[in-house]
Amino acid sequence: MKLQHKELVDLLQMAYSAEKAAAFAYQGHAGSVKNEDEKSAIHQIEIDEWNHRKEVLAIMNYYGIPISTYYEIKFHIIGKIISYSCYVIGWFMPYYFAGRLESGNVCEYFRMMHYFHELDIHEHNDVLYEMGIKEKEHEVYFLQKIKNKKLLPFFETLFSWGISKSYNDVDLQKKYPVEESKVYCKNSIEKHT
């Protein structure tokens, strides 16, 4: 079955490649921190990103969607640059920008779910939901690490993410179940159409 949804196909291709960039970034991030617990937690997040890449590829293969060479090259380079930069930009910025990135990634998976629903396809709900929630868990982890840092208010003002600003409307303390998760990220869909 071929997907007749240009935005969905592009989002799947982009997410597949962007997960590689994120995994590369976390390799550098984990390597740059000294605390063993932090190193271990960031390494686990890297593993989660590789797993998401596999899940997205499985969906793409199901519909015969090719991997985008453009996105693969672009995100490979971005991921490697971020990975190396973690060793020179200090402790705070890798945590901050990882949290900000994860905050946006949450809605990627819920947008995919919304797009599939437009095609009356619901069979990927569970895996997309799980990936969206996992990205939210990553966001929360990174925010918890920096929430008391003096730089956070300045960065939150400058980059629109932090204690009081997020790029998604998922609340892990009041999670909707999969069946009701269509309410998540509706504003994100409107911004991208």
Tell me the pLDDT band of 25, cut-offs 50, 70 and 90: very high
* Phi, psi values for residue 67, rounded to 5°: -70, 135
Question: Residue 95: its pLDDT value, please?
Answer: 96
Tell me the pLDDT band of 188, cut-offs 50, 70 and 90: low
Q: Is the predicted pLDDT of residue 192 greater than 50, yes or no?
A: no
Enter the tokens of residue 46: 């890297």
Residue 128 and residue 109 in contact, taking contact as beta carbons nearer than 8 Å: yes
What integer best gives the mean pLDDT of the chain? 95
Instruction: Name the DSSP class of 89.
Output: S
Q: 131: closest CA among 19, 17, 21? A: 19
Q: What is the pLDDT of residues 93-150, one digit of tens each?
A: 999 999 999 999 999 999 999 999 999 999 999 999 999 999 999 999 999 999 999 9
Handedness of CA 113, 117, 122, 123 (dihedral sign): negative
Tokens 């063993």 appear where? Answer: 36
Residue 86 and residue 98 in contact, taking contact as beta carbons nearer than 8 Å: no
Work out the burial of residue 84: count CB atoms within 10 Å of its CB; fewer than 13 is exposed, 13-18 middle, 19 or more buried: middle
Kindly state the average pLDDT of the residues 35-64. 98
- Residue 157: which residues within 8 A CB-CB, separation 6 or more? none
- What is the value of pTM for the model shown? 0.93
**CATH placement of domain 6-191:** 1.20.1260
Q: Is the predicted pLDDT of residue 193 greater than 80, yes or no?
A: no
